[in-house]
Amino acid sequence: MSRLLRLYPAAWRERYEAEFIGTLQERPVGPTGSVDIVNGAIDAHLHPELIGGAPHVWTHRLPGLMATAAGLIWSWYYLRIVLAAPEEWGYGVLLAMLLMIFAVLGDYMASYARRIGLAVSALISAAVLAGVQPLSVIGDGMLNFALGAAAALLLSGGMLTLAALRAGIGAGVRWVLIAGGLLVPVTVAISVMGGFGPTDPGGAPAMVVAILPYGIAWTIVGLRMTLRGSMTIHDAPTTAPTSKVAAA
């Protein structure tokens, strides 16, 4: 049960973990208690000021919310390929990509400024999207396709890695997300099923197998980023308060 305490922020654990574990040892909790601990962890992330950190403002949550939305839109779009079998590419992927770019750039920019950084990153995202969009109508031929696919893979992996770094996800879990969300599914889908276009025979399942996990990975990273919030250079968490009073 004490594993659930890993869900709490590091500063919070430094202050309360030892006594929390002591309490749990004296009074083990059931499923309801576990839910209560998870709720407490979410609350601790949302209120860092309780343990000496600076309170988050809504702009700090925005990049994480963008990343979460990107993951959900991406997942929904590729599920829709199977459920509704659309004949044409929609703008779901482009919207998701815009949100991913916005999330990562917004979070980086928030390290230096709040609203100004987010506004600038929105402009940069729009410009990048204008450049990315032509990739969706890349010219005929296997070479172009292979180059486009390789570029997309590098871009997708790079974006997810940057987002995971900003979310404060450790190296081990980060690699699991990159491998499980992108590299393994894409490799398996290409080698086993062969098709890669939504209108190819067998292509729709291949698309889902290959690309749906990427949306799930972004959703996970986005939720983590939302809970953590963007840190500015001026309000990085301070050390946790120590005991205030000597023994009674």
Least distance in angstroms from the C-beta of 163 to other proteins:
28
Q: Which residues contact 179 (CB under 8 A, 6 or more apart)?
A: none
Q: Which residues contact 74 (CB under 8 A, 6 or more apart)?
A: 92, 93, 96, 211, 214, 215, 218
**Span near other proteins by CB under 8 A; candidates 27-35, 64-72, 188-196, 203-211:** 27-35
Least distance in angstroms from the C-beta of 41 to other proteins:
7
Three-class DSSP category at 115: helix
Identify which of residues 41 and 103 has a Cβ nearer to other proteins in the complex.
41
Among 9, 11, 41, 224, binds other proteins (CB under 8 A): 41
Least distance in angstroms from the C-beta of 25 to other proteins:
7
- Is 21 among the residues that bind other proteins (CB under 8 A)? yes
CA–CA distances in Å: residue 180 to residues 4, 46, 167: 23, 28, 18
Least distance in angstroms from the C-beta of 220 to other proteins:
22
Residues 36 and 5 sit within 8 Å (Cβ to Cβ): no
Identify which of residues 18 and 127 has a Cβ nearer to other proteins in the complex.
18
Identify which of residues 22 and 194 has a Cβ nearer to other proteins in the complex.
22
- Is 248 among the residues that bind other proteins (CB under 8 A)? yes
Residues 217 and 71 sit within 8 Å (Cβ to Cβ): yes
Compose the 54-73 pattern: x for residues touching other proteins by CB under 8 A, - for all others.
--------------------
Cα separation of 89 and 54, whole Å? 44
Helix or strand holding residue 97 (H, E): helix 92-109
Interface residues toward other proteins, by CB under 8 A: 12, 16, 18-27, 29, 32-33, 35-41, 43-44, 47, 49-51, 243-248
